[in-house]
Chains A and B, each alone.
Chain A
C-alpha cells in the first residue's frame, strides 16, 4: 500500500457513495424536478471522484489525460441534459406547480404567446434551450 493506493482507497468509495445517495434520492423524492436534481448532480460529483481515484492508479500523469477527457465531456453534457429534461417536464405540465416557489418560465411563456399572437417571428429556427416557445406548440415546420 503506497500513498497513491491510499488516495485511491479514499476517493473511489467516496465517489460511489455520492452516486448511491443520488440514486436513492431518485427513488425517494416525490416530485419530478426533485428527482431530476437528485439524478444530475451527485452522479457528476461521484464520477469525478471515481475518475480521480482511477487516475492515481495509472503509471504516470500523461496516462490520465483520457480520463480528463471523459470528465470534461460528462461535465458539459449532464447539465445540458438536466436543463433539457426540466424544460420538457415543465412544458408537459408535469412539474407540480403547487410546490413551486418561483415560476420564472410562466412569464416567458406568456411573452412568447403574446409575440406569437402578433404574428410569426423571423426565420424557421428550431427552438433552442433558453428560448421559450409558445405553450400551444407553434413551432416552425421541419423541427
Chain B
C-alpha cells in the first residue's frame, strides 16, 4: 500500500458518500425536478469515479465510457425536464 492507494480509496469513499446523499434526496425529494436533478448528479459522479479508475490504470481506455455516460445523462436530464414542464402545462 503506497500513499496513492490510500488516496484512491479516500477519493472513492467520498464519491460514494456523495452518491448516497444524492440517493437520499432522490427518495425524499418533494418534486419530480429534485429527482431529475439527483439522477443527473449521480451521472456526473459516475464520470468522476471512472476518472479515478483512469488514474489508477494510467491509461485512457475508459474515456469512451465517460463521454457516453455524460452524453446520456445530458440528453436524459433535458428530456425529463421538458417532459415535467409539459405535464405541468397539461395539468392547468
How many chain A residues have a CB neighbour from B under 8 Å? 55
Residues of A within 8 A of B89 (CB): 137, 139
B interface, how many residues as a size bin? 35 or more
Helix, strand, loop or mixed for chain A's interface? Answer: helix
CA of A50 to CA of B18 in the docked complex: distance in angstroms?
A: 14
B52-81 CB contact bits vs A (8 Å, 1 = yes)?
Answer: 101110111001001100110010011001
Complex alpha-carbon distance, A36 and B82, angstroms: 16
B residues neighboring A (CB under 8 Å): 2-4, 7-8, 10-12, 14-15, 17-19, 21-22, 24-25, 30-31, 33-34, 36-38, 40-41, 44-45, 47-48, 51-52, 54-56, 58-60, 63, 66-67, 70-71, 74, 77-78, 81-82, 84-85, 88-89, 92
Smallest CB-CB A-B distances: 10 pairs: A137-B89, A16-B14, A66-B63, A54-B55, A23-B21, A23-B18, A77-B74, A57-B55, A16-B11, A12-B11
